[in-house]
Chain A
Amino acid sequence: MAIVELTNICKDYQQGKEPVRVLKNVNLTVEKGEYLAIMGPSGSGKTTLMNIIGCLDVPTSGSYTLDGQDLRDLDDDAMADVRNKHLGFVFQSFHLMPRLNALDNVALPLLYGGVSLKERRERAAEALKAVGLEDRMDFFPNQLSGGQCQRVAIARAMVGKPDLLLADEPTGALDTKAGNQIMDIFRQLSNEGMTIIMITHEPGIAACADKTYHILDGELRTDGNLVKMGGGEDEED
Chain B
Amino acid sequence: MIENIRLAFQGIWSHKMRSVLTMLGIIIGIAAIITIVSTIQGTNEQIKENLIGAGNNVVTVNLNQSGYSYDMSWNPIPSGVRTITEETRQELEQIDGVEKVSLYNSRNYVNMVYYLNAEYQGEIYGIDSNYLSVYGYQVKQGRGFTQRDYDQFRKVLLVDTNVVKNLFGGESPVGKNMEIQSEVFTIVGVVALSEEFAPTINSLSDYHMYANTSSGCIYMPITTWPTAYQFDEPQNVAIKVKDTDTMTQAGKAAADLLTDKQIQDPDNSEFDYRSQDMLEQAQKLQSMSKSTNTQLIWIASISLLVGGIGVMNIMLVSVTERTSEIGLKKAIGAKKKRILLQFLTESAVLTSLGGLIGVISGVILAQVISNIMQIPVSISGVAILVAVVFSTLIGVIFGMLPAYKAANLNPIEALRRD
| Contacts from A to B (Cβ < 8 Å) | 51, 54, 56-57, 76-77, 80-81, 83-85, 89, 91, 93, 95, 97, 99, 108-109, 111-113, 156, 160
**B328, A51: Cβ atoms under 8 Å?**
no
Give the chain A neighbours of B334 by CB distance below 8 A.
Answer: 80, 112
Q: Please, which residue of chain B has its CB at the minimum distance from the CB of A89? A: B331
Give the chain A neighbours of B205 by CB distance below 8 A.
Answer: none
Q: Please, which residue of chain A has its CB at the minimum distance from the CB of B325? A: A97
Shortest distance from the beta carbon of B19 to any chain A beta carbon, whole Å: 14
Give the chain A neighbours of B171 by CB distance below 8 A.
Answer: none
Shortest distance from the beta carbon of B410 to any chain A beta carbon, whole Å: 9
Shortest distance from the beta carbon of B404 to any chain A beta carbon, whole Å: 13
Chain B 394-418 per-residue mask, 1 if CB under 8 angstroms from chain A, else 0:
0000000000000000011001001
**B333, A113: Cβ atoms under 8 Å?**
yes
Contacting residue for A81 out of B325, B328, B333, CB 8 A: B333
Known: A77-B336, A99-B10, A112-B338. Contact between A93 and B418, CB under 8 A? yes
Contacting residue for A76 out of B11, B325, B336, B412, CB 8 A: B336
Q: Is B14 an interface residue (CB 8 A)?
A: yes
**A95, B328: Cβ atoms under 8 Å?**
yes
Give the chain B neighbours of A93 by CB distance below 8 A.
Answer: 418
Known: A51-B412, A56-B411, A99-B10. Contact between A109 and B335, CB under 8 A? no
User: Which residues of B, 1-45, contact A by the 8 Å Cβ criterion?
Assistant: 3, 7, 10-11, 14
**A85, B332: Cβ atoms under 8 Å?**
no
Q: Please, which residue of chain A has its CB at the minimum distance from the CB of B2? A: A117
In Å, the complex CA distance between A47 and B338 comes to 26
**B3, A77: Cβ atoms under 8 Å?**
no
Q: Is B143 an interface residue (CB 8 A)?
A: no
Contacting residue for B11 out of A77, A99, A112, A156, CB 8 A: A99
**B338, A56: Cβ atoms under 8 Å?**
no
In Å, the complex CA distance between A56 and B10 comes to 29
Shortest distance from the beta carbon of B328 to any chain A beta carbon, whole Å: 4
**A80, B330: Cβ atoms under 8 Å?**
yes
User: Which residues of B, 327-345, contact A by the 8 Å Cβ criterion?
Assistant: 327-338
Give the chain A neighbours of B14 by CB distance below 8 A.
Answer: 99
Shortest distance from the beta carbon of A169 to any chain B beta carbon, whole Å: 12
**B11, A109: Cβ atoms under 8 Å?**
no
In Å, the complex CA distance between A93 and B10 comes to 23
**A57, B412: Cβ atoms under 8 Å?**
yes
**B333, A112: Cβ atoms under 8 Å?**
yes
In Å, the complex CA distance between A54 and B327 comes to 13
Known: A95-B324, A95-B328, A99-B14. Contact between A80 and B335, CB under 8 A? yes
Size class of the contact patch on chain B: 20 to 34
Give the chain A neighbours of B336 by CB distance below 8 A.
Answer: 76-77, 80
Shortest distance from the beta carbon of B114 to any chain A beta carbon, whole Å: 86
Give the chain A neighbours of B411 by CB distance below 8 A.
Answer: 56
The CB with the most chain B CB atoms within 10 A, among A56, A111, A156, A160, is that of A56
**A111, B3: Cβ atoms under 8 Å?**
yes
Known: A97-B325, A99-B11. Contact between A109 and B415, CB under 8 A? no
Known: A56-B415, A77-B335, A83-B331. 11 other contacts (CB 8 A): A56-B411, A57-B412, A77-B337, A80-B336, A84-B332, A93-B418, A95-B327, A95-B331, A99-B7, A112-B335, A160-B333
Give the chain B neighbours of A80 by CB distance below 8 A.
Answer: 330, 333-336
**A85, B412: Cβ atoms under 8 Å?**
no
Q: List 26 A-B contacts (CB under 8 A).
A: A51-B412, A56-B411, A56-B415, A57-B412, A77-B336, A81-B335, A83-B332, A83-B333, A84-B332, A84-B333, A89-B331, A89-B332, A91-B328, A93-B418, A95-B327, A95-B331, A97-B328, A99-B11, A108-B329, A108-B332, A109-B333, A111-B3, A112-B329, A112-B334, A113-B333, A160-B333
In Å, the complex CA distance between A156 and B329 comes to 12
Contacting residue for B331 out of A54, A76, A113, A160, CB 8 A: A54
Contacting residue for B332 out of A51, A99, A109, CB 8 A: A109
Known: A54-B331, A80-B335, A109-B333. Contact between A95 and B415, CB under 8 A? yes
User: Which residues of B, 303-329, contact A by the 8 Å Cβ criterion?
Assistant: 324-325, 327-329
Q: Please, which residue of chain A has its CB at the minimum distance from the CB of B7? A: A99
Top 8 A-B residue pairs of the complex, sorted by shortest distance between their CB atoms: A84-B333, A95-B328, A112-B333, A109-B332, A77-B335, A80-B335, A83-B333, A112-B334
Give the chain B neighbours of A84 by CB distance below 8 A.
Answer: 332-333
Shortest distance from the beta carbon of B336 to any chain A beta carbon, whole Å: 6
Give the chain B neighbours of A54 by CB distance below 8 A.
Answer: 331
Q: Please, which residue of chain A has its CB at the minimum distance from the CB of B334? A: A112
Chain B 329-363 per-residue mask, 1 if CB under 8 angstroms from chain A, else 0:
11111111110000000000000000000000000
Q: Please, which residue of chain B has its CB at the minimum distance from the CB of A99? A: B10
Shortest distance from the beta carbon of A7 to any chain B beta carbon, whole Å: 22
In Å, the complex CA distance between A231 and B390 comes to 63
Give the chain B neighbours of A97 by CB distance below 8 A.
Answer: 325, 328
Shortest distance from the beta carbon of B60 to any chain A beta carbon, whole Å: 71
Shortest distance from the beta carbon of B365 to any chain A beta carbon, whole Å: 35
In Å, the complex CA distance between A89 and B418 comes to 16
In Å, the complex CA distance between A155 and B212 comes to 86
In Å, the complex CA distance between A91 and B336 comes to 22
Shortest distance from the beta carbon of A163 to any chain B beta carbon, whole Å: 14
Give the chain A neighbours of B418 by CB distance below 8 A.
Answer: 93
Give the chain B neighbours of A81 by CB distance below 8 A.
Answer: 333, 335
Give the chain A neighbours of B327 by CB distance below 8 A.
Answer: 95
